[in-house]
Structure 1
Amino acid sequence: MNIHQFYLKHMAKQTGYRATWEPNRPLFVGAIGKLERGVFTIFTNLEKEGIIPEVVEDETEGFWDYTSYDSVSINFKLAGQAPLAGSALTDADAGVTIDFKNNEAVVFQADKTLTHQIINMAEIEKAIIEKYRKDEWPKDWLIVVQLIEAESATIIISNSSNNQIDLKAEANVGTSHLKLTDASLGLHVVREQGSSFKILAKNGIMPLYRVMGIRHPLFGKPGLSTKSLTEEMDGVLEVQDFDPEELNSVDVETNG
C-alpha cells in the first residue's frame, strides 16, 4: 500500500472524516466534485449550480492531536538540554525528535481549528433531486458539506520502519512551549533515518472533510439521509462514508 492510500484509510478509521490529499490541497464547503482513488477533484460548486448553501462555523477554536498508538514517540528538546542519543540536535538547539516504530504511522496535529458545515441540507437535497430527475446532476457528483480548517498543522506520515526525524527550531529557541504546529519556530528537518511525507507547521490548510451525494455503487455503507425519496428514485442523498474500494476505482497520479 502506498503512502497516500494508507493515510486516507488510516485517518478515516481513526477520525470518521475523509482526509484531504494532498493535505494542503485547497478545499471549501459547497465544492462539488468526484473522488478518484480517494482524491477529491473539484468540478464546480453549489452556487454555480444555482444552489445557495448556508454555512456556519464554530464559535470557538479547537485543537486536533492524533498520533498512531504505540507506534510513535515525540520528544521535545529545549535549548540547553542534552539531546537524545543519536540525535543530530546539539545542546544549543531547540527542536523535536520523532521516532516511528513501524512503516505505517501518522502524526497529525492541527491547531486553532474551525468546523465549517452546511445547515440547509433539506433545501439543497430538494434542489439536487430535481436536477437529478432532469439529468442535470451526475450521479457521481459529491458535495463537501463539512470541513475542518486549521490555522496551522503538522502532518507526518512514515513509510519506513524505525524512522527517526530530528526537527530543529530556528526561532524562539529558548521557549518552553515548543509546538509542532507553531509556524513561527521555523521547524525544519536536520536529519532523517528513514523516509516520510511531511507538512511542517503549514498555515491555512483544510485537512479533513465530509461529503454527501446520491448513493453510488462504490459507497454501499448507509449514512445520513436527510429524507427518503419516491420509489422512482434509485438512491438517496447521504453522507458518503470512506470505502477502501474507491482507492482502486481510478488510476491517478499521486505523490509518494
Structure 2
Amino acid sequence: MHRRFGQFACWPPNTPLALGDVGVLRRDRFDKATTLADLGIRSLPDETGTPTLLEYSSADEVRLVIDGEARAAAVLPPLEAKISISFARGGATFFQAAGAVKQSITNLPKLERELRPLLARKIWRPEWAVVTSVQRTGPTIILVSDRRDAKVEFSVSADTLGPSIPLAAAAAGIEFGSMHGVGVRVVAPEGTTPLFGAAQFRGRNRTLTYRTGGVELAELGWDDVDAGE
C-alpha cells in the first residue's frame, strides 16, 4: 500500500485519523497520544486535493469475478451484479475507495519551527510522529484475508447502480452471501481515513535522537519504521 500510494495503511482500517494527530507509528498501527492542538499548535496550513478513485489489490493474490467473468478492475455494469473475491494467501488485501480526497499539511518547515521549543523542553517525545496527510474517502470497501483460499461472495442490488460505477460506490447496496477466511471486512458508505502520511524528527542517519540540533522534521517512509519500533 505504501509503495502504491506513498502513505501508510491505517490499522484497523476504520480507525479515525486527522491532520495533526500525534503518536507512535508502527508498521501495523498508529497509537495516538495527543494532537498538535492539545500541545498548543493550532495553525495548520493545509491543502485539499480533488476527489479521486483509489484502488489496490495485492499483486497476483486477489481474484475478482463479476457475474462469472474475471475482471482486472472492480467496475460494475449498470445491472444487478453477483461478485466474488478470492485470495491466494493470508494477509492479501482488496481495497477500493470512491471520492477519496487527500488533505495535507503543506508547510513542514513552519511546523518544525513551532515544534522545536517543545522538543527542547522534552514535551515533544522523540518517538512521536505527527500525521501530515490523510485520505478522507467516500464509499469504501476493504477486505483482508485471514488465510489462504479465503473467499467472499456478495451481490449488489440494481437500484444502487449507475452506468459502470466503481464497486465501492455501491457499498450501501451490498448484500453479503458466503464468506470464509476473511479476517477484516470494512464496508463504509463514507467517512473513513484508511491512508495517512506522517513526519518525525530524525537525524541525518535516520535514527531517533533527543538532541534539538542536527535533526529535522521529515516525512516518514516505509523503511523508516521498524516492525518492532
Q: Same fold (TM over 0.5)?
A: yes
> 126-135 or 235-244: which moved more?
235-244
Alignment deviations for residues 222-253 of structure 1 (CA, whole Å, 9 cap, x no partner): 9xxxxxxxx9625321112234863323xxxx
1:121-200 paired onto structure 2 within 5 Å: 121-170=108-157, 172=159, 177=164, 179-183=166-170, 185-200=172-187
Residues 206, 224 of structure 2: 8 Å contact kept:
no
Residues 23, 128 of structure 2: 8 Å contact kept:
yes
Quick one: distance in 1 between partners of 2:171 and 2:92?
26
Residues 20, 131 of structure 2: 8 Å contact kept:
yes
Quick one: distance in 2 between partners of 1:186 and 1:174?
8
Compare the two structures and name the one with the higher strand fraction.
Answer: 2
The code of the aligned residue for 2:129 comes to: L
What is the CA-CA distance between 1:160 and the residue it aligns to? 1.8
SS of 1:123 mapped into structure 2: helix
Residues 172, 185 of structure 1: 8 Å contact kept:
no
User: May I ask how many residue pairs the two structures share in their alignment?
Assistant: 217
Alignment deviations for residues 20-65 of structure 1 (CA, whole Å, 9 cap, x no partner): 111111110111112356321222222222221111201x211111
Which residue, out of 41, 52, 62, partners 1:62?
52
SS of 2:122 mapped into structure 1: coil
Q: 2:217 maps to which residue?
A: 237
1:42 paired to 2:32: yes
Percent identity, aligned pairs only, is 23
Alignment deviations for residues 64-103 of structure 1 (CA, whole Å, 9 cap, x no partner): 11112222221223xxxxx58xxxxxxx963311122233
Q: 2:44 maps to which residue?
A: 53
SS of 1:181 mapped into structure 2: helix
Higher-Rg structure is: 1
Q: 1:118 maps to which residue?
A: 105
Quick one: distance in 2 between partners of 1:71 and 1:178?
23
TM-score (norm: length of structure 2): 0.81
The code of the aligned residue for 1:63 comes to: L
TM-score (norm: length of structure 1): 0.73
List alignment gaps of at least 5 residues for structure 2. 70-78
Alignment deviations for residues 171-192 of structure 1 (CA, whole Å, 9 cap, x no partner): 6277654642124542132102
Quick one: distance in 1 between partners of 2:154 and 2:106?
41
Which residue, out of 208, 226, 229, partners 1:246?
226
